[in-house]
Chain A
Amino acid sequence: MAPVLQTSQPWVEKYRPKQVKDVAHQEEVVRVLTNTLETTNCPHMLFYGPPGTGKTTTALAIAHELFGPELYKSRVLELNASDDRGINVVRTKIKDFAAIAVGSAQHKGGYPCPPYKIIILDEADSMTEDAQNALRRTMETYSKVTRFFFICNYISRIIEPLASRCAKFRFKPLSDEIMSNRILHICNEEGLNLDEQALSTLSSISQGDLRRAITYLQSAARLFGSSISSEDLIGVSGVIPQEVVEALFSACKGGNFDLANKEVNNIIAEGYPVAQMLSQLFEMIVEADDVSDEQKARICKKLAEADKCLVDGADEYLQLLDVTSNTMRALCNMPQEFSYD
């Protein structure tokens, strides 16, 4: 028999708050939902914001707190992008669940148990427009007995008629301070040692995404033991070392195309993600004192275009080479237009 590894939860799950009041930094939604717990009044909700800011956590927490473990299964339907949520599912599964009548059994086992069900549509931005349109009627018809929670990263992908029926809450990226607090809490529980510098590095490389911070922390703890330094964290985070970015920047200043091309080839061979490279190059250029505003503008315009191309799936080497060539021409004051075009 093959040895079987024991299961255990990754830290992001282990430290997922179970109660709404423990969700950090999203005061507005916490206030409204705490109120809900008392009055059981709840509008349709729309949570939106960047990854790892507590959207899923909050929705799951309120559902659990309202219904408790016994009623949860019968009162809450959680669908995410891994479930088929095409127009047919909206017309059948979602509609059927929404239509179920619920008794007014109040306060069962210490839980408020309000007389409605909750449908959580996580990652709703990946639902098609047709499916969203099909939801409008369901939402209205069964609004007495069903509340919808929409969760997404991009609110612009939710059609207006749905969005306008909901109370909208924007989840903010977590501030450095809040982030540090949560991290310190985990460090305490897990017996880790993090110095000041490491702590601030972790907050800054995670850019307000607590999930990312926790994943980095766990990875670093597993790789480097219980004392974790700032370098360890940078090592697991995929941030490109500053020297590498500087080397590319100075190759651009140098004005030699072939040398710069070599640098680009090297970056690709080292496996650095080009999207990450572009954002670090952007920071370096914006802050550079010896680059004129006009040059900066020229360079940034290209950075933006390349970023879009990468999102479309364009080749990393070609995009970085194009950016490098353009940056070089801006820094060396070569004309913006090509001569033989």
Chain B
Amino acid sequence: MLWVDKYRPRTLDQIMVHQDVAQNLKKLVTEQDCPHLLFYGPSGSGKKTLIMAIICQMFGPSAEKVKVENRTWKVEAGSRNIDLELTTLSSTNHVELNPSDAGFQDRYIVQEIIKEMAKNRPIDTKGKKGFKVLVLNEVDKLSREAQHSLRRTMEKYSTYCRLILCCNSSSKVTEAIRSRCLNVRIKAPTEEQIVKVLEFIGKKEGLQIPSGFAARIAEKSNRSLRRAILSFETCRVQQYPFTSNQSIPPMDWEEYISEIASDIMKEQSPKRLYQVRLKLYELLVNCIPPEIILKRLLYELLKKLDIELKHEVCHWAAYYEHRMRLGQKAIFHLEAFVAKFMSIYKAFLIATFG
């Protein structure tokens, strides 16, 4: 098992970085009339870990006995019947899924599953009816329609079913949904907190960590705990005992983008644009999300650019990312950004050096 999974805290009491949030959530759960929850915060900050721990707090260890299923729903969509397939993770008391995986048909999933859960309520030994918890991941990627169909459902079935929603950016969740939940912000852990977690793992694994080594990993992690733990494990595989000047391997794709940035800075021509295009394709084929590529490219370019150009370039990055969102083919917009950059940079070079 990877360390990220092996050392994922299981209960609210074991949580290391968001202790304050964890304690609050504990109080919330013990009061029993807990509202719907919306967790938001950057990637790798520990949202999922907290959510699993709450469910564990609510239902005890039985919540950890989960089964993964590929389920098919038959839904009536207008005049046709369609089959929708989706992977769900469930225990007796909760169901977890990624409705946005169903693409534009996500709303059917949302409509069906909540109603279905309302029908099958768990009953305890005394015959009392309980409620289930539905965890919906990536709600910021839900279509508007699916978000709309959650609104009244959240109210209507609130006695049977609690929703725990999870997303990166709450700006993309409609006001109407946010106002129906307790919003819980999970910030990225600080570098010191990351160091603590790494040291904890090191101790459990019986490793000697030279001073400053954990801090260097934390610094390169961009405040993502997952990233830090992953690269810690990679270092362990590459070389142990650690040395204090041991290099921390960057992600392949990040290095690749750094190369692209150098390519663009060196030459601005249709030929170079074509070469860059192939590299961008390569990244897309390897499932690096296009907005991540664009942001990383901007990051690399900003490191190298003259102050005069920074404003201009960040504007166009925002501009093309927005267009990419509205369009269908990411490669067009990535390429357009590169072309735009080349033209600006060339004009700058000519104006400055003739």
Contact = CB atoms under 8 A, between A and B. Distances in A.
A310 B171 contact: yes
A187 interface: no
Contacts, number: 230
B181 A215 contact: yes
Interface stretch (A19-27, A107-115, A312-320): A312-320
Contacts of A315: 291, 294-295, 318, 321, 325
Contact of A80 (B77, B129, B151): B151
Contacts of B182: 215, 218-219, 236
Interface stretch (B34-42, B209-217, B239-247, B251-259): B34-42
B45 to A, nearest CB: 7
A272 B155 contact: no
B308 interface: yes
Given A9-B158, A215-B35, A340-B348, A56 B326 contact: no
Nearest to B150: A82
Contact of A52 (B41, B59, B115, B179): B179
Count class of interface residues, chain A: 35 or more
A83 B160 CA distance: 18
Interface string A1-30: 111111111111100000000000000000
A4 B128 CA distance: 8
Nearest to A307: B171
A122 B158 CA distance: 17
Given A9-B159, A82-B111, A314-B325, A270 B188 contact: yes
B60 A2 contact: yes
B53 to A, nearest CB: 16
B183 A238 contact: yes
A328 B311 CA distance: 9
B68 interface: no
Contact of A257 (B152, B176, B307): B307
B351 to A, nearest CB: 7
B9 interface: no
The 8 nearest A-B residue pairs measured at CB: A4-B130, A271-B41, A4-B124, A80-B152, A275-B171, A322-B318, A126-B148, A2-B62
A236 B178 CA distance: 12
A340 B129 contact: no
B155 A56 contact: yes
A319 B76 CA distance: 39
B307 to A, nearest CB: 6
Contacts of B328: none
Given A1-B125, A2-B62, A340-B347, A223 B28 contact: yes
A218 B76 contact: no
Contacts of B124: 1-4
Interface of A: 1-13, 51-52, 56, 80-84, 86-88, 122-123, 125-126, 153, 209, 211-212, 215, 218-219, 222-223, 236-238, 257-258, 261, 268-276, 306, 309-310, 312-319, 321-322, 325-326, 328-329, 334, 338-341
Given A2-B93, A312-B325, 10 more contacts: A10-B35, A82-B153, A123-B151, A222-B31, A269-B187, A270-B188, A271-B188, A274-B169, A321-B318, A338-B344
A312 B111 CA distance: 24
17 contacts: A2-B59, A6-B128, A7-B130, A8-B32, A8-B159, A10-B158, A13-B159, A82-B156, A126-B149, A238-B170, A261-B302, A317-B295, A319-B322, A321-B314, A322-B314, A339-B308, A341-B344
Given A2-B122, A274-B169, A275-B171, A56 B152 contact: yes
B54 to A, nearest CB: 12
Nearest to A86: B78
Given A80-B151, A83-B111, A123-B152, A338 B315 contact: yes
A8 B148 CA distance: 24
B28 A271 contact: no
B196 interface: no
B111 A84 contact: yes
B351 A340 contact: yes
Interface string B294-311: 110010001000011111
